[in-house]
Amino acid sequence: MSVRILALVGSLRSGSHNRQLAEAAGKLAPEGVEVDVYEGLGEVPFYNEDIDVEGSVPAAAAQLRDHAGRADALLLFSPEYNGTIPAVLKNAIDWLSRPYGAGAIAGKPVAVIGTAAGQYGGVWAQDDTRKAAGIAGGKVIEDVKLAIPGSVTRFAETHPADDAEVAAQLTEVVACLQGYATGAAAA
């Protein structure tokens, strides 16, 4: 069975280390797994129930929901902004949580990983992201964690895919998420 994992990156910066991490996850994915790094989170308007009306949902939000709906699992990459989840990632989760109880994230395996400049690798933001994704209806995989500290120096001259330790950890994360997605599909 082929598994499609939608990767959402909580940083819009073109040189984002979390984006590089997501790209590395795609490169390192085992056979039968496609990691689709989503483009366009910056175009999704802030969630507002007044504009979330069937038949007139903003195109960028509808596209995000469509991609998530077609995915077997989600892999969220969260940097840490002021000690918590970046607004763009929280906004994506908000859009994916609706309609309540039947959103595009409902029942799907979700893993949260990332890298940050600080000494803890963004664990606070990742914990907040797990919490938000779980409340939104995702099946958060609590035992899949990867928080890479010191991103500014660690990835200054090395892409995450070329860092042997990170590559091994990413491969394990994607394989684990594949297992949960296949198990969820069989259930």
Number of Cβ within a 10 Å radius of residue 65: 19
For residues 135-140, give the mean pLDDT.
97
pTM of the predicted model as reported, rounded to 2 decimal places: 0.96
pLDDT band at 100 (very low <50, low <70, confident <90, very high): confident
Percent of the chain clearing pLDDT 70 (strictly above): 97
Residue 73: HSE in the Cβ half-sphere, 13 Å Cα cutoff? 28
185 has a pLDDT exceeding 90: no
First-to-last CA distance in the chain? 14
184 has a pLDDT exceeding 90: no
77 has a pLDDT exceeding 90: yes
pLDDT in tens, 24-54: 999 999 999 999 999 999 999 999 999 999 9
pLDDT band at 187 (very low <50, low <70, confident <90, very high): low
For residues 154-166, give the mean pLDDT.
95
Ranges 142-146, 172-176, 181-185: which has the least confidence: 181-185
pLDDT band at 101 (very low <50, low <70, confident <90, very high): confident
Can you say how many angstroms the Cα of residue 38 is from the centroid of all Cα atoms in its chain?
Answer: 9
pLDDT value, residue 84: 96
Distance CA 56, CA 67 (A): 18
Helix axes 87-96 and 123-135, enclosed angle (nearest 10): 20
Domains of the chain and CATH, by start: 3-186 (3.40.50.360)
pLDDT in tens, 105-133: 999 999 999 999 999 999 999 999 999 99
Distance CA 18, CA 106 (A): 24
For residues 52-69, give the mean pLDDT.
97
Give me the torsion for CA of 34, 40, 45, 47, rounded to 10°: 10
- Name the nearest CA neighbour of 74 among 45, 107, 41: 107
Residues forming beta bridges with residue 35, ordered by sequence position: 5
pLDDT band at 186 (very low <50, low <70, confident <90, very high): low
Identity of residue 123: V
